[in-house]
Structure 1
């Protein structure tokens, strides 16, 4: 992922109003990120704990989405839809996001299960122990990274372009 600036983050959001976009609290430590190891950039605002914000590169440009966490916890220990990490090193919660444009203004949303604090990029880069003799752990990690990128891309395109 390319490095983001506060201005590029703020202008990237497609499913928020102009007022919501201007009120976004963007992390101040953007320079401290290892952008080469991020497949998307996500954060939570401590002042609005049920909101999550994610920015991904779609067609070479940053696209941002605001997500809202469900107030009710899930009944079981779910698996993240993006990183599909089976070891569950962190909490996974249900988020809903408004679609962009007219569909979003009409109230259309899409929901998904995600790592609560957007740890997916770290999860897929772990080198797990070999599952069996001859198992290529590095190749498995590379497949997880590609899978994460495909899931993120599909979700963002659906919200941005879907009706």
Structure 2
């Protein structure tokens, strides 16, 4: 991912009003983000922990979506898999993040949700090399496949928010 500015982030949202986008709090480490090792920028709002943001370069443009986490955290603890990174080794919490659909559908109250790492650690998760075994004889190739999968599944989720298409 290429470096992006606060203005680019705020103007990228497809399911948030201009005032909501203007009021969002950027990640605390925004000035030191390692842009080369990420497929998207995802973070929780420090002042509104139930709110999260996902900003993705998609089809030549930057697309941002505002998300809502479940009230009171994850609730009952269960082992669930993040739909974006699908990291089976991660011990991180995974939430059902919900996004208003874009356009009139979202204004009518329609939403779409998916399971995503609670702290948006997917970029790091897909870069962990799996142990060498018969299924993964080349860990570096496995990482490239994991990154491609993350990009594909993230784009699918954006399409569901944007177009309302079902999986």
Would the TM-score normalized by the shorter structure come out above 0.5?
A: yes
Alignment partner of 1:14 is 2:14: yes
Instruction: List gaps (5 residues or longer) in structure 1.
Output: none
Report the Cα distance in structure 2 between the residues aligned to 1:133 and 1:109, rounded to whole angstroms: 38
After TM superposition, the structure 1 = structure 2 runs for residues 34-45 of structure 1, keeping only pairs within 5 Å, are 34-45=34-45
Following superposition, the deviation at residue 29 of structure 1 comes to 3.9
Greater Cα offset, 54-63 or 18-27: 18-27
Structure 1 stretches of 4+ moved >3 Å: none
Question: Between Structure 1 and Structure 2, how many residues are aligned?
Answer: 163
Report the Cα distance in structure 2 between the residues aligned to 1:162 and 1:132, rounded to whole angstroms: 40
Report the Cα distance in structure 2 between the residues aligned to 1:126 and 1:93, rounded to whole angstroms: 21
1:141 corresponds to which residue?
143
Report the Cα distance in structure 2 between the residues aligned to 1:102 and 1:146, rounded to whole angstroms: 32
Report the Cα distance in structure 2 between the residues aligned to 1:136 and 1:88, rounded to whole angstroms: 20
Secondary structure at 1:22's aligned position in 2?
A: helix
Secondary structure at 2:44's aligned position in 1?
A: strand
Distance 1:21 1:140, change over 3 A: same
Q: CA contact under 8 A between 2:25 and 2:47: conserved in structure 1?
A: no
- What RMSD in Å do the two structures reach over aligned CA positions? 1.7
Secondary structure at 2:126's aligned position in 1?
A: helix
TM-score, normalised relative to structure 2:
0.91
Greater Cα offset, 32-41 or 18-27: 18-27
Following superposition, the deviation at residue 133 of structure 1 comes to 8.2
TM-score, normalised relative to structure 1:
0.93
Instruction: List gaps (5 residues or longer) in structure 2.
Output: none
Q: CA contact under 8 A between 2:45 and 2:51: conserved in structure 1?
A: yes
